[in-house]
Amino acid sequence: MPEGPEIRRAADKLEAAVLNKALTEIWFAFPQLKPFEQTLVGQSIERIETRGKALLLHFSNGLTMYSHNQLYGVWRVVDAGETTDTTRVLRVRLQTADKAILLYSASDIEILNGDQLLKHPFLLRVGPDVLDMTLTAEQVKARLLSARFRRRQFSSLLLDQAFLAGLGNYLRVEILWAVGILAHHNAQSLTPEQLDKLSHALLDIPRFSYNTRGTVDENKHHGAIFSFKVFHRAGEKCERCGAIIEKTMLSSRPFYWCPGCQH
C-alpha cells in the first residue's frame, strides 16, 4: 500500500502535467459535484498538497478539491482527450489544452471553500505531513513527548496518521531499525539520545525515500538509492550486525526487525 513518499511522487506527476494551466474541461461522476464543473472551467490548479493519503488540489478561484484514495483510488496522467485502458471507474477528469489528470475508483471527493477546508474532519484529525519541509525534528520531538502520544507504543503510533501523516508500515519498520529500538517502546521510555535520533529519523527516512526510491544516480552509486534494510528481508542477515532478520505481526501488519541490534 502506498505511503507518504509514493503519494507525494504521484502529486508531483500531477503538478508536472497541469500546474498553472487553464482548465478547459471538467467532469465529475458524483451529482453533488456537477455544479462545480462550469465553475472551475478557466481556472487553474495552483498547488497540490498531500496530507497522508489525501490530496488537496488548490484552484486559482480559492476552491479546493479534497480526495482520499482509500484502498482503491488512483490518479493517472494522459494526453488531452485520451482515457486509460482500465476496469477502474472514472470519478474525476480535469483537462487542460494538452494534458488531463484522471482519478479512478476513489469515493471520498469534495469541493471545499476556505472555511470548509479549515473545518474538514479528516484534515482536523490528521497530523502534520512528514514531507512538509517546514516540519522540523524539534517539532516532531514535541509531538512524541506530548501527553497525547508519549505513552503510545511505536508499533501503533507510527501507523497513526493523527501523529504524523504519511507514515506507514515499511516506514515504521525502517525507522525503528535505523534508531535501533523495538516497537514495544514509547517515547517516555527512550533516552534523550534515542529520542533525538528517532525525531530525526521520522523525517529523514521518509524524505530520503521520496527523493531517491526508484531512481538511479550514476554519481552516487548505490548510496543514494533507498533500499530496505529489514522490510521484507526475514531470514536474511542484518547488514549492521549480521544477525538474522525476523518477522512477526504487529497492529495487524507484518513487522520486521533485527534481534541483534534492536533493543
Which residues carry out catalysis? Answer: 2-3, 53, 253
166/163 Cα distance (integer angstroms): 10
Cell of 140: 516532531
Q: 154 near 201, Cβ under 8 Å?
A: no
Please give the radius of gyration of the chain, using alpha carbons only, rounded to the nearest integer: 20
Q: 81 near 97, Cβ under 8 Å?
A: no
Q: 169 near 253, Cβ under 8 Å?
A: yes
2/4 Cα distance (integer angstroms): 7
168/3 Cα distance (integer angstroms): 6
Cell of 99: 494534458
SS3 79: strand
Q: Within its chain, how far is the Cα of 33 from the centroid?
A: 25
Q: Name residues whose C-beta falls within 8 Å of residue 94's C-beta, 6 or more positions apart in sequence.
A: 18, 23, 25, 26, 40, 45, 57, 100, 101
DSSP 3-state percent helix, strand, coil across the chain (nearest 5): 30, 25, 45
Q: Within its chain, how far is the Cα of 231 from the centroid?
A: 18
